[in-house]
Structure 1
Amino acid sequence: MSPDIKRRIVFTILSDYIAGEELRQVMILWQAEFSERSRYELNQFLGACRDVPGIQQNRLEILSRLVRMVMAANESDLKPDPINWMNSADDAETSFTPSEPLTKEEFSRPQQAASRLSQPQKTSETAPQNSLVAEVVNMLFSRLRSDQIRTIKSYVLSAAQKKKLQPAAVAMFEQPDISVSAVHTPLEIMDARKLINFTYIGCCEAIGPVDADLLLSKAVREVGEKYRGNEPYANCLNQLLGR
């Protein structure tokens, strides 16, 4: 997803809760600190707005709306890009007129299986995107109950079949256990990205969007740290996260 579309999504939703200079400063914060981050770090952005009552009083509602719109953005529903207004110090107190058409404690419930689930895949035999999907998902699963994992896997499997993802993508979630395996057939990047998106949506339904955001962001950070300095894998992870 392009930065301008993400910016328009954030602006469209936040403008229902705050306005004027307050909105402008929040959008400047988004642009400077969060615009290049993963779509799964929306909750951190809202947490950084802890001094904005209009956001904090409606945080869960705002996060839910952001998640839904990021996952299925319809440009016709978005307000025009506010970038010029954000960059103008003049008329900051006025309404937007386009010139052109973590306060929550981080989940940390490591299980004995976590170390097994997060082991690096054999990169010589497995495509980077296959390994990364499996590792991110398994890192997330290591902090969930088995019933929650099965609920999420069932959702992902159903969504993958409905959207006609390639057989290898479907196969990753067909196993009855509480993990996923990196299949050997290389996944299409778009299919790999959709698997992460479906996992996120399923997680939102199973434990709520706030907790899902925290857990998936943590999983992404941990996998990213493991591949720091490994350019092919780091670049592939950025692709999968829509960065």
Structure 2
Amino acid sequence: MTVDIALRRRAILTGLRPFLDDDALLSAVALWAREYANQPPFALSGFVAKCCARAEHLAQRGQMLRAIIAAMELPPSQLLPDPGSQGEILAAVAEQARLNDQTQMFSLLLSALIGLSDASMQSMIRSRLLQQLTKQKLEREPHQVMQDWLAGHVVSLTKNYDLKLLQALVNQAYIVMCEVLGPVKADQLLANAIRQVDIQGAHLSFRVHDLL
């Protein structure tokens, strides 16, 4: 039962990742763990309804539900890592709230780019960004936090970063997309990610285009 709950929690996280910013995503997973983990599958519709408190999410309610159901059918290797127990999730939410707007916007954009990519390109993007990170002069703890996040080992960033580093990582992700898809399709994927992030990051004072 514990293993099953952990896999379903990872599926919830994976399904909702394209739709919610980091704070909302972790809060949603905490809600599921608290109220819906032991409920039957049809209760997911009620869970998704609670996740759509913001007006911009109402139109995506059906998409969210379908994305969660689809994620439930994925093999474990294609699911995001387990965010942990409810207490760990809530602690991550509190830590995430300390991030500045530019780091939050970076997190939203890169998560969107990865989420809109297939498994092969996701792996290539992560590998390239980890290589880029080794060229940066960061203190040990911020370096480890970013490394773990880029590798997909943790759900959220918990440190703030210099704008030049964030721009360099986004640029490398775009280069990988161009290499795999070609410039035209890469620009289309980037545009889709920006439209998604414009909604998710509407509350932030930092503009997503300043990362490009």
Q: Compute the TM-score of the two structures, normalised by the length of structure 1.
A: 0.44
Q: Which has the larger radius of gyration?
A: 1
TM-score of the aligned structures, taking structure 2 as reference length = 0.50
Q: Which has the higher contact order (CA 8 A, sep 6+)?
A: 2
